[in-house]
Amino acid sequence: MSNEELVGVLREKFGDGIRSSQFRDNFRIHVEAARVHDVLAYLKHDHGFDMLVELCAADYLRYPNATDRYGVWYCLLNVSTGRRLIVKTFVNDPSPRLPSVFDLWKGADWMEREVYDMYGIEFDGHPDLRRILLPDEFTSFPLRKDYPLRGRGERHNFQPITRAEA
Amino acid sequence: MALDTLGDSVMLTRLDHLANWVRKNSLWPMPFATACCGIELMATGASRHDIARFGSEAMRFTPRQCDLMIVAGRVVMKMIPVLQRIWQQMPEPKWCISMGACASSGGVFDTYAVVQGIDRFIPVDVYVPGCPPRPEQLLQAVMDIQDKVTRTGTFNAREFAQRTEFDGPRFSLPDVPPTAAVVAPGNYQSAKRLQD
């Protein structure tokens, strides 16, 4: 099944909200956030995309011609045929949310935690959604474009030790 | 006289001097290697450069057996409590080498997560410039530590007890005024890090 045929099948099943784009050899399917879990489940069960290679996000704040704030993409791989596919969706402030795909691919666990850690996008249905890289007490989401590169004073927050103390 | 019969078998010296002499020739490093400087640290310990020539070849991976901490590489904010605890676990007397640009100043990593010089949080005796430094530079730092031990060391390490002021650099104005949102791990033992 060619990429165009796949888009046709998806449009038939999930409506005209499905769009597609191509960048070099990356074929991308754009889905609205409400349908993304259904589309991914369909792709996994009926088209054999049994591996979630990557789940990541980007902040499109002040990006030229961007209409939504956060983009989240799922890179899928069909292990038997070697076919790859990218599913992309967008969410917006305030409270960006997406359904978790942990029930489809267990590997989504840490990837969704990382996206939550860096962008603050919450995944409904994730079994253990907490920070994975940053300290637990961190309150910002540092890969958001409105977060200053040098932080908001987090680097200064530990007590120095003097020679007399240790 | 009895002294006449002792010959060369007696030496008179100060206890401080004797302790320094013993200590400086058997510094046991604690390799706190977090990045590429750690590779140069390993090269310094390997046969070509051979840190054993200076009596510092006994790298121990438990801080309780060490008296020289070598911080090699960038240290992130999340690791500062670990670094401080390891430093506190080392028995006195102890010294610290900040190896490389990142450990000394943050290097090129001027971001929210990277500590801009470990001397803001623990005492440092010798800084080694370089990115990463050559093994010769680290050997020079070890020799500088030996020199410092010779000059300032005391038998019961009382030179440290007098230094009650933090001697690292102060923070200049914070890069971004800290709002109420994120504040102060401060004391990692109580671990209450959010401002009320």
| A145 reaches B (C-beta below 8 A) | no
For residue A139, what are the CA distances in angstroms to A108, B58, B179, B182? 23, 42, 11, 6
Put simply, the answer to whether B183 touches A157 (Cβ < 8 Å) is: yes
pLDDT tens digits, one per residue of B118-177: 988 889 999 999 999 999 999 999 999 999 999 988 888 888 877 777 777 766 544 444
> Cα(A137)–Cα(A134) distance, rounded to whole angstroms?
8
| B184 reaches A (C-beta below 8 A) | yes
Bridge partners of B95?
Answer: B68
Task: Return all residues near B18 (Cβ < 8 A) that are at least 6 apart.
Answer: B155
| A146 reaches B (C-beta below 8 A) | no
| A1 reaches B (C-beta below 8 A) | no
Confidence (pLDDT) at A165: 76
Q: Which residues numbered 107-126 in B keep a CB inside 8 Å of some CB on A?
A: 110-116, 120-123
Crossing angle (nearest 10°) for helices A36-47 and A3-14: 130
Residue at B68: amino acid letter: L
Count Cβ atoms below 10 Å from residue A22 Cβ, excluding itself.
9
Task: Return all residues near B189 (Cβ < 8 A) that are at least 6 apart.
Answer: none
Q: Which domains does chain A have, with CATH numbers?
A: 3-157 (3.30.460.80)
pLDDT tens digits, one per residue of B34-45: 999 999 999 999
| A164 reaches B (C-beta below 8 A) | yes
**Which conformational region is residue B179 in: left (phi greater than 0), alpha (psi within -120 to 50 degrees), or beta?**
beta
- Please check whether residue A129 is in contact with residue A113, taking contact to mean a CB–CB distance below 8 angstroms: yes
Residue at A54: amino acid letter: E
- What ipTM was estimated for this complex? 0.79
Put simply, the answer to whether B80 touches A159 (Cβ < 8 Å) is: no
The alpha carbon of A160 is separated from its chain's Cα centroid by a whole number of angstroms, namely 38
Q: Min CA distance, B150 vs chain A (Å)?
A: 18
Put simply, the answer to whether A151 touches B111 (Cβ < 8 Å) is: yes
> Cα(A57)–Cα(A71) distance, rounded to whole angstroms?
5
For residue A137, give the chain B residue with the closest CA.
B193
Task: Return all residues near B173 (Cβ < 8 A) that are at least 6 apart.
Answer: none
Q: Are strands B126-128 and B95-99 parallel, antiparallel or unpaired?
A: parallel
Q: Among B7-11, B33-37, B47-51, B183-187, which stretch is predicted with the lowest mean pLDDT?
A: B183-187
Of A155, A157, A163, the CB nearest to B160: A163
Bridge partners of A77?
Answer: A51, A84
Confidence (pLDDT) at A149: 82
Omega of the bond prior to B185 within 30 degrees of 0, cis? no
Bridge partners of A55?
Answer: A74
pTM: 0.80
